[in-house]
Amino acid sequence: MLQYSYERPVVMEIINGLKMKKRLIHIITGPRQVGKTTAALQIAAKWNGPVINASADLPLPPEPEWVLSHWDRAETEARRAGNEKSEVLLILDEVQKVRGWSEVVKASWDKTCREDLPIQVIILGSSSLLIQKGLSESLAGRFFLYRCVHWTFPEMEQAFSWDMDRWIFFGGYPGAAAFVDQEDVWSRYVTDSLVETVLAKDVLQLQTVSKPALLRHLFMLSAVHPAQILSYNKMLGQLQDAGNTTTLAHYLKLLETAFLISGLELFKGGTQKKRGSSPKLIIWNNGLVNALTWIPTLVF
């Protein structure tokens, strides 16, 4: 995405956030391939001081020492730049892959604050469950959250001159915009490069999933029934080796944490009715629906 010069509004939001009177850790969360890393790089390009940028998106999940090593580099730069009154910007990408990341970040951040080191921290993550879990368990009161969602119609119109019909069909994935004139190529790019990467790296690699094939089939089933109310019993009848409704509900929740699909439960009188409720399947991006249904024989 670096080939695009478009700058999302979240970039200025974060730059303004870095100027807050109270120094906080700035967390950016959202789906893959919507510009989180690009936004961080654009912020780094505007930064008047040293920048340390590292990504935990590695073949094997790194250990907590990965965070400590980059934080130590930031502290070294901060002490070196102390006389110049310039702050160090530390960017940690895909941090949810690091086991126990929130505890390490908390300890390092508290040390930085005690020593009053000139360090600003931006953390990026594409798994809402692991990010939120870390924030609620260890970083309460220490962070400011930015939600970097799929691109809106005004953004795609400004960046790619799309009209409303094109945005509704292809969705808000800017990286796939180059392929929209070849719908078969676009479909394969979205399914192979986007969807499969999310399932493999943000769900199966980070969560305990006993039936990976079932999770993929549940995603496919949801994609071909967008915005429909589908009971868990009906899902059981259409999926092989489906187990029970508890397993399906859990897998649907995992897909939601990866910003793919949400199962909206029934609300009545302001209260969520889970018992016996049939979820309404909401796809986070229309491009997912059309990419998957473009190739009817697609099998994960």
Does residue 208 sit within a domain? Answer: yes
pLDDT at 298: 44
Residue 253: Cβ-neighbour burial (10 angstroms; 0-12, 13-18, 19+): middle
Query: What is the rounded average pLDDT of the residues 24-32?
Result: 91
Q: Are residues 18 and 101 in the same domain?
A: yes
Pairing of strands 271-273, 266-268: antiparallel
Return the half-sphere exposure (C-beta side, CA atoms, 13 A cut-off) of residue 233. Answer: 3
pTM of the complete model: 0.82
Q: Are residues 45 and 115 in the same domain?
A: yes
Neighbours of 223 (CB within 10 A): 21
The enclosing domain of 25 has a CATH number of 3.40.50.300
Does residue 119 sit within a domain? Answer: yes
The first and second tokens of residue 214, run together, are 């079932």
Q: In Å, what is the CA distance from 64 to each residue of 3, 46, 80, 138? A: 33, 29, 25, 15
Describe the crossing of helices 245-257 and 128-138 by its angle, rounded to 10 degrees.
80
pLDDT digits (tens, 9 = 90+) for 134-173: 666 678 889 999 999 999 999 999 999 999 999 999 999 9
Does residue 83 sit within a domain? Answer: yes
CA 61, distance to chain mean position in Å, is: 17
Closest CA to 207 of 250, 170, 245, 155: 250
The enclosing domain of 232 has a CATH number of 1.10.10
Residue that terminates a domain, selected from 132, 147, 162: 147
**Between 274 and 193, where is the model more confident?**
193
The number of distinct structural domains making up the chain is 2
pLDDT digits (tens, 9 = 90+) for 253-295: 888 888 888 888 776 655 555 555 688 888 899 899 898 876 5
Residue 37: Cβ-neighbour burial (10 angstroms; 0-12, 13-18, 19+): buried
Strands (DSSP E) found in the chain: 25-29, 51-55, 88-93, 119-125, 143-147, 261-264, 266-268, 271-273, 280-283
Does residue 203 sit within a domain? Answer: yes
The first and second tokens of residue 228, run together, are 């429909």
DSSP 11-70: HHHHHHHTT-SS--EEEEE--TTSSHHHHHHHHHHH-SS-EEEEE---SSPPPTHHHHHH
Instruction: Look at residue 69 and tell me whether its pLDDT is greater than 70.
Output: yes
What is the distance between the alpha carbons of residues 162 and 168, in angstroms, rounded to a whole number?
10
Does residue 176 sit within a domain? Answer: no
Structural domain boundaries, residue 27 = 9-147
Residue that terminates a domain, selected from 147, 167, 191: 147
